[in-house]
Copies of this chain bind each other. A is one copy, B any other.
Amino acid sequence: MAEKTRSKIVSIKGARQPVTSYDVARHAGVSQSAVSRCFKPGASVSKKMRDRVMKAAEELGYEPNAIARSLISGRSNLVAIMISNLTNLYYPEVLAELTQRFSEHGVRVLLFALRSEADANETLQQIWPYRVDGVIAAAELSPEQVGEFEKRDVPLVFYNRHLTGSPVSSVCCDQEDGARQLVDGLFKAGHRRFAIIAGPPESVVGVERKTAAIERIEELGADDPPILEGDYSYESGFALAEELMKHKKKRPDAVICANDVMAIGALDAFRVNHGLNAPEDISVVGFDGVGPSHWKSYNLTTIRQPVRRMTEAAVTMLMAMIEEPGLPNEKRVFSGIFQAGGSAQFETGN
């Protein structure tokens, strides 16, 4: 019936009559359902049957229509990825990994790049009409927005963030453990005057990293650190490092940055404007382990997020939720990996 509908509609447009799976079945001398199975990713079909059908399909110029099929199967084989800060150096790697992994499952990615966190409402209105099978959100969502997913039975997995007090599935890096590791190593190396260049207050990840660092500094009995808020950019790291240098007497000896890019900005401000080299004159640490953290001019001491494992977990989790509706929610938290660099006096171990 869907085929009939489609043929009729297309003929209204005056385009050439498309070849249907029924035409292929007739040409190959097999059933329509056999043709359908041959074009369904992962379906069981003998090599002999597949060869016969593919030969007929090629001869007739047949191509399956994923859109028409989705109306029949109820599965669009589309997932949406909502991502904010796409130009943040951390996300391109995440996006490439997610897209390639979904591709291996025969699932395509609709990309929604948010200009700001405030765009989420508008983006959701754009997503719903495509009847996506699921969504990966590397962007903040409110409880009301999460409620919209539940209302529509659309599986949702948060990537590297979660909604506090909500059971929604998520894959995260252990921000707290990472921040504590950084404080511990700096403290063991003798640092006592800490400062924090934090993320923006609306970033859950940034707040977790900041809060854990502050708590650990307090537990160890060091002075309360000055806390400055940046926006994760190089420019903000640079400007806030300048800010820290204004108070000469209370100049920090160890600066904990909420991401690598701000740490890189801070390192440049200290070196270029004040002649302070890391790690001799000042220690700077970051978070994420982005590509440029390895560049020799910076050689950052940082916590690397295990992006491959995290993206694999997110894709596996979302696919399971799509294939088995009603699966319980799940939160997976991966420890970050300490990346020994040369930007800090730092001691690991006990």
- Interface residues of chain A, those whose CB is within 8 Å of chain B, are 1-2, 5-6, 8-10, 13, 15, 63-72, 74, 76, 78, 81, 86-87, 89, 91-93, 95-96, 99-100, 103, 108-113, 115, 126, 128-131, 234, 238, 264-265, 267-269, 271-272, 291-292, 294-298
Contact = CB atoms under 8 A, between A and B. Distances in A.
A278 to B, nearest CB: 12
Stoichiometry, as copies per complex, reads 2
A15 B103 CA distance: 27
B67 A131 contact: yes
29 contacts: A5-B71, A6-B71, A9-B71, A13-B74, A63-B128, A65-B131, A66-B130, A67-B67, A67-B130, A71-B71, A81-B111, A87-B93, A87-B291, A89-B291, A92-B92, A95-B113, A96-B113, A99-B111, A103-B112, A108-B110, A108-B126, A111-B111, A234-B291, A234-B294, A234-B295, A264-B295, A267-B297, A268-B296, A271-B297
Given A6-B71, A9-B2, A111-B111, A129 B234 contact: no
**Per DSSP, are chain A's interface residues mostly helix, strand or loop, or mixed?**
helix
Contacts of A1: 5, 8-9
Contacts of A297: 267-268, 271-272, 297-298
Contacts of A15: 74
Q: Looking at A91, A129, A268, which has the most chain B CB atoms within 10 Å of its CB?
A: A129
